[in-house]
Amino acid sequence: MEQPGYPASADPAFNLTGGPAGATAATLAALGRPILHHLDPAFGALYQRTVQLLQQAFGTRESPVILPGEAVVGLEAAAASLIGPEDVVLNLVSGIYGRGYGAWARRYAREVVEVEVPYDSSVPATSVADAMRARPDITVVSVVHCETPTGTVSDLDAISAVVAEHGALLIVDAVSSFGGIRCDFTAWQAGLVVTAPQKCLGGTPGLSLLHVSEAAWAHMTANPAAPRGSALSILDWRDAHLAGRPFPFTPPVTDVYGLHACLEQYLSEGADAVLRRHRAAARAARAGAEALGLTLWARDPLVRSDTVTAVRMPDGIDEREVRSRARKDSGVMLSGGQGDLARIVLQIGHMGTGAYPLGPVIAVTAISRALRSLGARADIGAGVEAAVAALDA
Ligand SMILES: *Cc1c(COP(=O)(O)O)cnc(C)c1O
């Protein structure tokens, strides 16, 4: 008999993916506001206020940059703007996003060297130090904080210390970590950090949010190849919030409304409370997935992300089938493996709106139901019990 399902035409009841994750109610309400002209003083004031809130959230001395374009635009812009024809880049690869960054770096650098590790681990700071000793001419290091498809994190505290000691600049992809995992841009002495609203902040995909350190601005200004008059130009958007500065081009007005709303929410909840919420959801997702009978992708607990959990499928089960059944029968949208990990690995996102207590419980239930309908074993009761116990721990 056909199970009562969830209509394919409907919104998923639960977006528990590796992002874009769902937007908060406050963000959604803000998106419905009338469209102001970008030169309307009311928009100017809102934009300026949004930059101030972002700076507060980043906890930095420098004004952040809001670059129009989904996070990948900000990441490519960082490579185009910061990496010049004289630069030697050390690209750290512990997953698919890191591998992709190498392609951008090669487009602009004199040379790119890479340290690559298996995608269930992350590059140790000692390997970074070794690589930099071997190549004292390295000027820029690029690293992904959280590799979303595999749910692994790099130790930015240790890596940034090595990079700073060497006097190089750091490009950090913090798209799926900022707002879910502690990020200390100042202590990291990071050159340039790229994040976005649509993962941990409960905002929309459409903007890149950049912290650019003083050293990174200096390097970028001195880079003769840094783009100007281009969608990839970070220099064009520097201080765009200041009164009397024309925008290089029209900012996506509605996305700015959404960003303003989700930052207000983030700041009023408080960074520490937000991190605790992500940590609790992560604990629940891991405990629930293991108790229902799945294996976590990353064996080392120290590299497991608090924003997304990657799980291995049982032998003979294709994660695409599990996801499609979870969506169809339970109204739960999950995300899956990419590249070599397609069919094998499934992600439970617990970021932003997914990082609420029962998010992982719902994911565990939907996955169990899907596994059973595919003829695999899944202990739903044990999964739910373990997830709830982890929340209450
Ligand atoms: C989501 C994400 C991005 C942005 O990429 P999209 O594929 O455009 O969503 C970049 N880096 C990481 C680590 C991400 O999780």
Ligand 1 centroid–CA 42 distance in Å is: 32
Two tokens, residue 257: 């409304």
Ligand 1 centroid–CA 205 distance in Å is: 10
Distance CA 162, CA 166 (A): 6
| CA distances for 251 relative to 67, 241, 362, angstroms | 8, 11, 37
DSSP string, 211-254: EE-HHHHHHHHH-TT--SSSTT-SGGGTTTTSTTPPPSS---HH
At residue 393, the pLDDT reads 85
Which atom of ligand 1 is found nearest the CA of 145? 13
Nearest CA to ligand 1 atom 5: 72
Q: What is the mean pLDDT of the chain?
A: 96
Ligand 1 centroid–CA 175 distance in Å is: 6
pLDDT(3) > 70: no
Which of the two residues, 243 and 52, has the higher pLDDT score? Answer: 52
Half-sphere exposure of 284 (CA within 13 A, CB side): 29
Task: Report the candidate in 364, 365, 196 with the shortest Cα–Cα distance to residue 283.
Answer: 364
Give me the mean pLDDT over the 345-361 stretch.
97
Domain boundaries defined on the chain? 14-22+271-392, 37-268
* Model confidence pLDDT, tens digit, residues 169-188: 999 999 999 999 999 999 88
332 DSSP β-pair partners? 14
142 DSSP β-pair partners? 91, 171
pLDDT band at 1 (very low <50, low <70, confident <90, very high): very low
pLDDT(341) > 90: no
Asked if 94 contacts 144 with a C-beta cutoff of 8 angstroms, the reply is: yes
Q: What percent of the chain has pLDDT over 90?
A: 91
Asked if 288 contacts 386 with a C-beta cutoff of 8 angstroms, the reply is: yes
Q: Which residue has the tokens 């102001």?
A: 36
Which atom of ligand 1 is found nearest the CA of 176? 15
- Give residues (CB < 6 A) around ligand 1: 19, 70-72, 97, 144, 146, 148, 173, 175-176, 199
Nearest CA to ligand 1 atom 6: 72
Topology of the domain covering 37-268: Aspartate Aminotransferase; domain 2 (3.40.640)
pLDDT band at 131 (very low <50, low <70, confident <90, very high): very high
Distance CA 170, CA 189 (A): 8
Ligand 1 centroid–CA 193 distance in Å is: 13
Q: Which CATH class is domain 14-22+271-392?
A: alpha beta
At residue 321, the pLDDT reads 97
pLDDT(66) > 70: yes
Ligand 1 centroid–CA 48 distance in Å is: 26
> Which residue type occupies 303?
V
Two tokens, residue 313: 């499928």
* Model confidence pLDDT, tens digit, residues 212-233: 999 999 999 999 999 999 999 9
Nearest CA to ligand 1 atom 8: 72
Ligand 1 centroid–CA 71 distance in Å is: 6
* Model confidence pLDDT, tens digit, residues 26-57: 999 999 999 999 999 999 999 999 999 999 99
CA geometry: angle at 195 spanning 142 and 42, to 5°?
Answer: 140
pLDDT(2) > 70: no
Distance CA 349, CA 360 (A): 8
92 DSSP β-pair partners? 115
